[in-house]
Structure 1
Amino acid sequence: MALAMFLFAAVDAQGKFLTQSLHPIQIVWTRQLGLLAGAFVLLALRGRALLDTGQPMAQFVRGALAATSATLFITAVAFVPLADAVAISFVAPFIVTLMGAIFLREPVGLRRWAAVIVGFVGTLIVIRPGLGVLHPAAFLVIGAAALFSLRQILSRSLAATDRTETTVAYTAFVGSALLTLPLPFVWRTPDWGLELALLIGMAVIAGVAELMVIKALEIGQAVVVAPVHYSIMIWATVYGWLLFGQLPDFWTWIGAAIIVATGIYTLNRERRSQ
């Protein structure tokens, strides 16, 4: 999981660099190729049984959410420092708690509601709306986190009927298909050299990182490996500094620390309730 976070931060950094010359949809479409290749490998190994699903519409919606959330995030990092965008994206677990309570009628105690509120306060500290600290595109990250959270809620529902590899395959196929539709309108042939190398690198690294996360969740308890996700903040900061000369300010670190602390608290509460 730790290595996957290192790789995902590298993918985000490559995506931010490429937004200087390529459309976000083209970048996300290329990134999706890594996952798509993995899905075709699974299909070759498991056969058509891989596509057996008890909830085809939910699988389609999940794939659409994955493609849209990734596009919103890449669009945002064109304007927002990488570490700041990653810090804001940490609001996702709190949105999952809200959506779980609303859509799945999951019980949420007073302490978890308090953690959600404190987590959102941490997010406001990072963004500081109205003060002109961050580009308004920072709110696209919140949109991406909300769609990601809805995707997680769907994953919980799908887990009752479908295998994990089936869900991964549908996410790859549906996401790639939807991103291909607008691709001809935004396509620019990448230059031979750095652009092409970065695009290929994104696809390969993202595919490997996705598989690492799946494997980590298979061999370890989710409540143990999930907090490691927050290590991506470290690598995003390193990449942002090395590649773009951007470092989070004092208040961003404070807000990120609040979000991480309340996120880990929420994960521990979930573990105790299981």
Structure 2
Amino acid sequence: MDNRTKGILSLIASTASFSLMGVMVKMTGGKIPLMEQVFFRNFVMLFIAAYWVKKSGSLYFGHKGNRHLLLFRSMFGFMGVVTTFYATNNLYLGDAQSLLKLAPFAVTILAVVFLKEHITKVRILALIFAFVGALIIINPQFNSEIFPSLVALSAAFFAGSAYVLVSYISRKSNKESGMTIIFIFSFLSCIFSLPFMLMNFVIPTPLQLFQLLMIGVFAAMGQYFVTTAYGFTDASAISIFDYVGVIISTILGRLVFGESLKQTSYIGMAIIILSGLISYYDVMHIKKNVSLK
């Protein structure tokens, strides 16, 4: 199995884990404050990552030359978590995940600009179509749904920035292990969210506590697989498989919450998924031509 295939499978496992995390976030939404959700997500993940860092013999805080990059990755990741949780709590699960799935396009753009990865005209057109799909999902009417939709778009940018940094850090000569990256991200996120959580702390019921813990478990699984995925190959080459989460989240939204999405939401999702597939086939076509030369 080559590294690209490993990256694809890891990314699919990641998006499934994050979709399940989204269900737990929505179940506790409105009952548990946002920052308390964020803190529990990272607190559970911190202990899981710390165990694996120690077991693998990796550095807890990475190599000295990488620490500024690890800090930026953690900051973008933290803002991505906060905006993702807000969007998940305030939009239909399918709508939220569809907008959040613009992250692969942010990854592609940022990877081209900062990592000098190649992009074709076909993928540029795919990006434009994906943006059109996002506008169809948002359906701007200047009502209360506009703000959480825009928050979801910003979450996609923050996530894309974090993933590009993961790809860069994981493939440097003095690269960091995936668990080191996750540990630092979790550690700093706990510090960032703790003061806000204490200001508005709500004692969870036993069921809510279980759901909060599962947010952390699914987040740890998602972070492990996504960090592993972007460490295998070019970020722009595999990011498109994050779109599996659109389908998973929509199914979970209907099964768990009985959500009935607007017809325009399905159209927007279809356009985004189709754009992603076009981008993926373009990548595969380039890889095939290169291998034949």
TM range (shorter): 0.7 to 0.9
Name the stretch that deviates more: 255-264 or 133-142. 133-142
> Which of these residues, 138, 158, 176, is aligned with residue 169 of structure 2?
158
CA distance in 2, matches of 1:111, 1:175: 37
Q: CA offset at residue 187 of structure 1?
A: 1.6
> Which of these residues, 76, 98, 103, is aligned with residue 109 of structure 2?
98
Query: Does the alignment pair 1:261 with 2:274?
Result: yes
Query: Does the alignment pair 1:112 with 2:131?
Result: no
Structure 2, unmatched stretches of 5+, are 1-9, 288-293
CA distance in 1, matches of 2:265, 2:118: 32
* CA-based RMSD: 2.8
Q: CA offset at residue 125 of structure 1?
A: 1.1
Misfit runs of 4+, over 6 Å: 216-225
- Aligned residue for 2:282, secondary structure, equals helix
Query: Does the alignment pair 1:236 with 2:246?
Result: no
TM-score, with length taken from structure 1: 0.87
* 1:70 alignment partner in structure 2: 81
Query: Does the alignment pair 1:14 with 2:24?
Result: yes
Q: CA offset at residue 123 of structure 1?
A: 0.9
1:216–1:116: structure 2 CA closer, same or farther, 3 Å change rule?
A: closer
Cα-to-partner distance string for 1:168-225 (whole Å, 9 max, x where unaligned): 222222222222232211221212x221121122222322343344566778998897
Query: Does the alignment pair 1:246 with 2:256?
Result: no
Contact 1:43 1:50 in 2 (8 A): yes
Query: Does the alignment pair 1:31 with 2:41?
Result: yes
CA distance in 2, matches of 1:134, 1:270: 35
Query: Does the alignment pair 1:170 with 2:184?
Result: yes
CA distance in 2, matches of 1:244, 1:139: 23
Contact 1:83 1:247 in 2 (8 A): no
Q: CA offset at residue 50 of structure 1?
A: 4.5
CA distance in 1, matches of 2:108, 2:233: 22
Question: Residue 90 of structure 2 aligns to which amino acid in structure 1?
Answer: F
1:103–1:216: structure 2 CA closer, same or farther, 3 Å change rule?
A: closer
CA distance in 1, matches of 2:67, 2:97: 31
CA distance in 2, matches of 1:16, 1:222: 29
CA distance in 2, matches of 1:6, 1:107: 28
Cα-to-partner distance string for 1:98-133 (whole Å, 9 max, x where unaligned): 223444444432222111111111111111123659
- Aligned residue for 1:136, secondary structure, equals helix
Q: CA offset at residue 5 of structure 1?
A: 3.4
Name the stretch that deviates more: 100-109 or 52-61. 100-109
- Aligned residue for 2:147, secondary structure, equals coil
CA distance in 2, matches of 1:231, 1:175: 27
1:103–1:123: structure 2 CA closer, same or farther, 3 Å change rule?
A: same
1:228–1:104: structure 2 CA closer, same or farther, 3 Å change rule?
A: closer
* 2:195 alignment partner in structure 1: 181
> Which of these residues, 127, 141, 146, is aligned with residue 138 of structure 2?
127
Cα-to-partner distance string for 1:23-45 (whole Å, 9 max, x where unaligned): 11110111112321222112322
- Aligned residue for 2:91, secondary structure, equals coil
> Which of these residues, 188, 208, 225, is aligned with residue 195 of structure 1?
208
CA distance in 2, matches of 1:106, 1:65: 21
* 2:52 alignment partner in structure 1: 42
Cα-to-partner distance string for 1:137-180 (whole Å, 9 max, x where unaligned): 11100010011111122223313132232322222222222222
Structure 1, unmatched stretches of 5+, are none
1:220–1:263: structure 2 CA closer, same or farther, 3 Å change rule?
A: same
Name the stretch that deviates more: 140-149 or 2-11. 2-11
Q: CA offset at residue 57 of structure 1?
A: 1.0
Q: CA offset at residue 78 of structure 1?
A: 2.0
CA distance in 2, matches of 1:200, 1:178: 19
- Aligned residue for 2:125, secondary structure, equals helix
